[in-house]
Chains A and B, each alone.
Chain A
Amino acid sequence: MLDPEAAPRTSASAGLGHDSGVSPSAAPRRAAEERARPVPRRKRLSDSRRQRPTMFPDLETATPRLLLRKIFQTQPEVSPLVPKISEPWEPRESGSETHSERISNTSMKIQLPDLVSEDTSIITFHMSRKKKKLSISEFERAVDERFPQNLAQSMSDDKTLTRSLQASFATPVPPNTVEKRGLLRRPKNRKTVNVDAFEGGVEQNLLQIKDTENYLVDSQALSMTGTTVMMNDSKITLNNTELFIQPQLSEKSQGRLSALEPQLLARNTLERGSRAFNTAEPEPQKERLASNVDPEEEMVQEDHEESALDHADRSGPASVGKAWSLPRGQQDCTQQSSYAEQVSEPVSGIQKEHLTLNVNQEEEMVQGDHEDSALDHTDRSGPASVGKARSLPRDQQDCTQRNSYEEEVSGLVSCTFHRQTLSTPAVTTSQGRHLGSLSAQRSTRTSLREFVAHVIEKLNYGNEEDGMTDTEQEMVKDGAVKEGIAREVTELQSNMEYSEKLGEKLRKQSASHMNEKGEARTRMTPVEEEVMIKDAANQDSGKDVVEFPESAGARRLSRQSNAFFTRYSEPTRKKSIEPVEQTVDLDAGAVVGDMSELEEHKTEEEEISEDGAESEELSMEMPAFVHATAYKVSPSLSTPRSLKTAVPKSSPKPPTAKQAPKKNRTEQRRKREPALPSSLVKKIFSHYVKMPVARDAFKVVEKCSEQYFKQLSNDLEVYTKHAGRKTVETADLELLMRRQGLVTDKMPLNVLIERHLPLEYRKLLIPMATSGNKVIPSK
């Protein structure tokens, strides 16, 4: 103890500066590690060092004087690295213990702020007003501490501690110490926080100040870091620290403040630009983004890292505010790209941001480097952004410098506002373009149509259906189809009959012959299909052909010749004025369709799936022909849509019944969904109701039971899925019954089983034990 006492005395007498200076250097490193250790360890360490008396042993003595001495001596030991429970600064000065703790806290806090910088940025801001000096000094300390790493930190801590101690003790702080006295008194930990927090606070201050005073316009100030600006606005005391800090900022900010700096830079530019920036701030986020974007625009030439942008995009609105405020304070132009990122972030954050982002991105990256990343976000706004980009670039070019900032801001804002407008026209234009492409295809279709018609004719000849071919040919040659859509329909109907026969004949006749033709058509159809698929509107025959196969396929699935027929009729109806050729083709197609329809039916009959390649092909092709004519006119209708609409309409159509009715019916019956035998249902119901039941009521009961089974299967699926299984188990059933209220605590499932199910079932469900140690059912 003597040594420690002596040491403090000597140190106290010598003054903090010297002894503390020495010890701190050595102590911090070790203290950092040993801080948490109990006092005795320190003693040992201190013994080795000799110079540093451990304060803690003195604490035991607990005389205030000794404690104070120890504080002085132990200051260096306290290392910022050693985390300790931080206590509020204010109560520190209450006692020596608090001092020591404060020291530790300070060091801790210096570190802590790093973690919490962002959160406390705002808080820092509020505090900054009162604690500007402190914050700056703290910042400085933090700077020293952080970047130089532990040593530096420890060093700073020591300094801080010493300073704080000095301040607390009202001893004049040596001028060499960077921090100010006032700062010392304040809780250092709080403000030493991170640079980010500090900067954020500074920015905020700047923002506020700017709004009021507009210093920011000063280019010099802008060039300086945000703190500089603050300087102008804030008190003089900050000046010194700011000067110090600035270089540090520049050094470190890049690493950490990169995001902030660019923002600051942007802010600077913004500020320079005009008050508009200031005005923009209070404006809605949108404008903020606009302003952010403007700086970006200004920095178009700057490098924009895709990653940065992506990051920015992801950061979202959260960073918007921060970025906004931060840039104010800091005006480092070192990292424009990062700024761009941040700007893009807020941009993306906001809904419309995508557009701005796109715009920004486009602006920034003429090469479109960012577009890849940014466009991902703005895929949908692609066309819109394009439009915007066009408008924005204008601004960009103008706004390379602050002068144009205002323009940019306004332009950007207008762009953002006009985004939608731009997007819509862009979209419409795109759509128009799409339609145009479709129309282009029409022309190709005509050629296809002709080809198809030719094939049909060949087919007709091949089928030896002279009558049919004649009619078909006539139809094909008919040029007045436009007006005769109705006529076509009737013709189609008649053709249907013919086509039925034709279809049958076709099938029976050389299949290979048809196959050949079908193949030829299929060749066409696949290609057409592809084309069709791409085209939303089928104007050309080619498309029709493609559509037809699709529709044909759909028909097959539905197995409704009626649908097929209606499809043809539908298109014809839908068709508007069409060129003669088209109508002719339609007729031909209709005929073909009929034939194919019949074939379809046949195929359905023969094979559910499309085993009959020939028939498929044929039907596909034929429908294609029909569609070629039918769909030409319906640009608005997409193939699937038209088909679908046609299908439902067709079903109720009576004419369909004419075609292969028997086969369809049987097929339909076969395909009919399994349903409980109505007799069973009747029996059960009447048994339960114990009263005569009207016949109509039974129908309702049947419908009801169907609905019930639907619900049941849904519920079971849900339950099974919930249990992570794919098989329905008895537990699922029991759960269902419980939820239905059939099974309760009073009414267990087994009772229900016994009541309602016959014995044999009961035996299956409920294991019964019989004599001889037998269990039924045996497991």
Chain B
Amino acid sequence: MANSQIEPGAPITLQELYPSSPFYKEAVSLRVTGMLRGYSNETALCVIEDGNKSLKINTQNLSDLSFKIGSIYQFIGELHIEPNNEAILQARTGRNVDGIDMNLYRKTIELLRQFLQVEDNSNMVE
């Protein structure tokens, strides 16, 4: 990839991906998780869903991931905002995470953020 500084994919839930959200920006690195709803072989686009929210994923860079509708997948990649303000995640990597407890995962994301925030603050003080 041309961009030498690849940011870590911030774990988020699909619910947090709405147009006014801080994550809803071009080239933001994200880690998204959701159930595979559909997959197209021609376009390499797939749609994951979590709750009532869904997200398109461009999987053209992923070679050895097999897709099974109904399974839960996790993707890390950069968000691309289309001209029509639709977001597509250009996946860098992806994996099947079947068996994940989404409720727990959501809570962990919250806790992780809290922790990172506290860390950031303490770093600033020192």
Q: Do they bind each other?
A: no
